[in-house]
A = this chain, B = another copy of it.
Amino acid sequence: MDLIARLAEIVGPTHVLTGAEAAGFGREWTCHYTWTPMAVVRPGTTAEVSALLQLAHETGTKVVPVGGNTGLNGGTFAEGALMISLSRLNRVREINPAARVVVAEAGVVLETLHDLAAQHDLAFPLTFGAKGSAMVGGFLSTNAGGSNVVRYGSARALCLGLEVVLADGRIWNGLTGLHKDNTGYDLRDLMIGAEGTLGIITAAVLKLTPAPTAYATALIGLPSLDDALTILNAVQKGSGGAVEAFEYMPDTYMERLAKAKPALACPFPPQPVNVLIETATTVPGADPVAQLEATLFEAMEQGRVTEAVVAHSTAQRRKLWEMRETAAEITFTTPDIVDCDIALPLDLLQSFLDRMTPRLMALDPQAGELVIGHLGDGNLHYTAYPSRSDAALGKAIRAAVNEEAMALNGSFSAEHGVGISKRATMAAHKDPVAVQMMAAIKAALDPKGILNPGKVLP
* A435 at the binding interface (Cβ < 8 Å): yes
How many angstroms between the C-alpha atoms of A411 and B188 in the bound complex? 15
- Tell yes or no: A281 within 8 A of B by CB: yes
Check A192–B183 contact: CB distance below 8 A. Answer: no
Residues of B within 8 A of A413 (CB): 181-183
A210 CB-CB contact with B under 8 Å: yes
A166 interface residue per 8 A CB criterion = yes
User: Bound state CA distance, A450 and B313, in angstroms?
Assistant: 63
Chain A residues bordering chain B, tally (CB within 8 A)? 94
Which residue of B is nearest A143, CB measured? B182
Q: Does A224 contact B (CB under 8 A)?
A: no
A453: interface (CB < 8 Å): no
A190 and B180 in contact, given A434-B172, A437-B172, A440-B445 (Cβ under 8 angstroms): no
Per-residue contact bits, chain A 371-405, to B (CB 8 Å; 1 contact, 0 not): 00010111100000000000000000000000000
Find out whether the CB atom of B99 lies under 8 angstroms from the CB atom of A229.
yes
| Mask of A178-195 contacts with B, CB within 8 angstroms, 1/0 | 111111111101101110
CB of A174 within 8 A of chain B?
A: yes
Whether A184 contacts B409 in the complex (CB less than 8 A), given A190-B189, A282-B241, comes out as no
Find out whether the CB atom of A142 lies under 8 angstroms from the CB atom of B437. no
| Contact indicator B434/A187 (Cβ below 8 Å) | yes
> Contacting chain B: which of A79-87, A249-257, A340-348, A354-362?
A340-348
CA A344 to CA B281, docked complex, whole Å: 28
Q: Are A190 and B186 in contact (CB under 8 A)?
A: yes
Question: A457 to B187, alpha carbons, bound, how many Å?
Answer: 14
Task: Tell me, in angstroms, the Cα distance from A426 to B291 when the chains sit together.
Answer: 50
Q: How far is the CB of A292 from chain B (nearest CB, A)?
A: 11
Known contacts A233-B210, A343-B179, A411-B178; is A426 also within 8 Å of B184 by CB? Answer: yes
Q: Select one of B101, B180, B441 contacting A445, CB under 8 A.
A: B441
Partner of A193 from B143, B145, B182, B379 at Cβ < 8 Å: B182
Are A343 and B426 in contact (CB-based, < 8 A)?
A: no
Q: Which of A150-176 contact B (CB under 8 A)?
A: 150, 154, 156-157, 166, 170-176
Contact B154 A157 (CB under 8 A): no
- A to B CB contacts below 8 Å, 16 in the list: A96-B347, A98-B346, A100-B233, A100-B346, A143-B186, A156-B186, A170-B433, A179-B346, A180-B377, A180-B411, A181-B343, A181-B411, A181-B414, A183-B426, A184-B434, A186-B189
Which residues on A are within 8 Å of B, measured CB to CB?
A: 96, 98-101, 142-143, 145, 149-150, 154, 156-157, 166, 170-187, 189-190, 192-194, 198, 209-210, 229-230, 233, 236-242, 281-284, 286, 291, 294, 343-347, 374, 376-379, 409-418, 422, 426, 430-431, 433-438, 440-441, 443-445, 456-457
Beyond the given A177-B409, A237-B282, could you list 9 further A-B residue pairs with CB under 8 A, ordered by the A residue number?
A172-B431, A172-B434, A173-B431, A181-B343, A182-B411, A182-B414, A187-B438, A241-B242, A284-B294
